[in-house]
Amino acid sequence: MNAVKSILLFLFVKNVYALNYYPFFYQPRTFWGEPRLVKKWLTTIEAPIRGGHALDGFDGCGNKCDALALYGCENIYALAKNVPSCFLAGNSDSIFTHAYEYENRSPSFGKLAVSGKFSSLECIPVLTQNFKYGFFMSVSVPIKKVCVRDLFFSDCSSKKSRPAGISYTQWQQAINNFEEELCRYGVYVGPTKNVGLGDIQLFGGWTLNYEHTTAIDFIDLTVATGVNFPTSRRPLSCTPWVLPLGYEEHTGIPLLVAASLGIFDWCTIGLQGGALWFNTITRTAAVQTAAEQQGWIRLARFPVREEKGAIWHIDTYLKLDHLIGGFSCVFGFSHDHAYRTLVTPCCCENNVLVGSDWLTWNSNEHLQPWTMTAFHFMLEADFASFAHPRIPHIAFTVDKTMSGKRACDSTIFGAYVAIDLA
């Protein structure tokens, strides 16, 4: 009987967290917590919901900027430079089609600063099932909504900065009708909302809980790998502000490792690390055709062979177990780093590379590495008891971006309900 009570007490003190890994540049990811508990046939069902927004971000140098200025100002002056005629057909009377042909301009002419607000809401139900000998499987099914709204375009041009041959009045009229002008090229730059299924992740892993220690309470270790299935809908290449719900048709292979040790009967110190690798695919993408082009907007769209850069992370955390009643709290820090993505053109026109050369295509700021360092806080309430072991535990979370490069400065609040069935 004492042995049974000891097992139950360990189950109550050491809560079980779901396993998934979804790093994105626009928001800090969830903090997946401690190593998995070794308990034969233990089932964990978790239903977290998170939401938040970002008004600011970090550019390629790590400096604070607007959330939609991660890649610099939109360079409308060079928007049509080297773009094949098939994308400009019917727009010969547009000032944007010929702006790059005019010389003797000021560097500020044609720069358009964009501001706006990013927001997200997601629910990621997770089911984790233990087997014998420490082996387990976990599946997560994210449902997400990401929005970009409150867009405002600010022209950096002045009368003195314009080149000869362009009427300043005509230029201002085109900027005031910027959204309508871009629609003529088949590009939509208004507010966007993307709702749907994200990428489903399936994990298989092995975990160890070692308690035969004298100086510390326990040592835990979990190793897991799996598959990131490309189940999310890919954003259209003609909608630059539509943020992805997943990894844009890339299948991924994640590897996660977590270790922790317990001290003083109430404190847990943990370290986590891992990576996510992607396969190479062919898809239609908006491409950069001139080195002067900046920002999010591109007119040319071609089939490309895309080698998406891998993402790795390292996390550390401190958990204070059941300090008051059934309440515990977690303080954690995470760092994610995504390597650059490479694209190779898949189409030629008269045996000549369409658009521009390979180096120009890959100088696109969208394809460069991004990093994010975030702070995580969790307050958890666990009211399970010997008499009622299946009472769910609930938690409230805060995930806040602290620094980064080409990443949004987001604050995400969340809550979840989880139940452990053994």
pLDDT for the residue numbered 348: 52
pLDDT for the residue numbered 332: 93
One-letter amino acid for residue 29 of the chain: R
Residues 126, 420: Cα–Cα separation, whole Å: 12
Name the token pair of 4. Answer: 């049974």
Asked whether 170 and 1 are in contact (CB, 8 A), the reply is no
DSSP string, 174-199: HHHTHHHHHHTTT---S-EEEEEE--
pLDDT for the residue numbered 139: 95
pLDDT along the chain (422 residues), means of 10: 42 56 93 80 89 94 92 88 84 82 76 91 93 93 94 82 75 86 88 94 92 81 95 88 92 94 85 95 89 89 92 93 78 96 73 60 91 94 63 86 96 87 74
In the chain the domains, ranked by start, together with CATH numbers, are: 2-71+118-153+197-421 (2.40.160.40)
pLDDT for the residue numbered 389: 60
Contacts of 188 (CB under 8 A, 6+ apart): 179, 182, 238, 239
pLDDT for the residue numbered 216: 81
pLDDT for the residue numbered 39: 84
Asked whether 125 and 141 are in contact (CB, 8 A), the reply is yes
Q: Is the dihedral of CA 291, 297, 298, 304 positive or negative?
A: positive
> CA-CA distances (angstroms) from residue 282 to 220, 307, 351?
41, 9, 20
pLDDT for the residue numbered 1: 43
Q: 41: part of which helix (H) or strand (E)?
A: none
Longest dimension (CA), the chain: 91
pLDDT for the residue numbered 128: 92
